[in-house]
Amino acid sequence: MSSEREAQAAMTRRRPARLQPRWFIVAFWHGHRAVLRVTGGRFGLWRPKPGGWGTLWLTTTGRRSGKPRRVVLGYVDDGHSLVTMAMNGWGPAEPAWWLNLQAHPDAVVRTRDGARPIRARRAQGEERERLWARWAEIDTNLDAFAARRPHETAVVILEPRDTTGPAGS
Answer whether residue 145 is part of any domain. Answer: yes
Three-state secondary structure call for residue 131: helix
| 95 phi/psi in degrees, rounded to 5 | -65, 145
List, in sequence order, every residue forming a beta bridge with 116; answer none if it has no partner: 109
Domain count of the fold of the chain:
1
The whole domain housing 122 covers 42-160
Kindly report the CATH number assigned to the domain that includes residue 86: 2.30.110.10
Tell me if 8 is assigned to some domain.
no
* Of 167 and 139, the one with more pLDDT: 139
More confident residue, 65 or 26: 65
Query: What φ, ψ does residue 119 adopt, rounded to 5°?
Result: -125, 130
How would you classify the pairing of strands 106-111 and 54-61? antiparallel
CA distance 45 to 106: 21
Give the Cα separation of 63 and 97 in Å (integer): 9
With a cut of 60, say whether residue 126 has pLDDT above it.
yes
In this structure, what are the phi and psi dihedrals at residue 121, rounded to the nearest 5 degrees?
A: -150, 160
Of 19, 23, 152, 16, nearest in space to 86 by CA: 152
CA distance 111 to 58: 9
Q: Is residue 16 part of a domain?
A: no
Is residue 60, in this structure, part of any structural domain at all? yes
Q: What are the contacts of 14-22 at 24+ separation with CB within 8 A?
A: 16/144, 17/141, 17/144, 17/145, 18/141, 19/90, 19/145, 19/148, 22/89, 22/91
Asked if residue 18 is part of any domain, the answer here is no
The answer to whether residue 19 is domain-embedded is no
Give the confidence band of 22 by pLDDT, cuts at 50, 70, 90.
low
Does position 161 have pLDDT exceeding 60, yes or no?
A: yes
The yes-or-no verdict on residue 114 having pLDDT over 80 is yes
Q: Which residues lie below 8 Å from residue 146, measured CB to CB, with a gap of 6+? A: 87, 90, 152, 153
pLDDT of residue 10: 41
Q: Does residue 56 lie in a domain region?
A: yes
Least confident of 37-41, 63-67, 75-79, 143-147: 37-41
Could you give the angle at the alpha carbon of 75 between the alpha carbons of 123 and 115, nearest 5°?
105
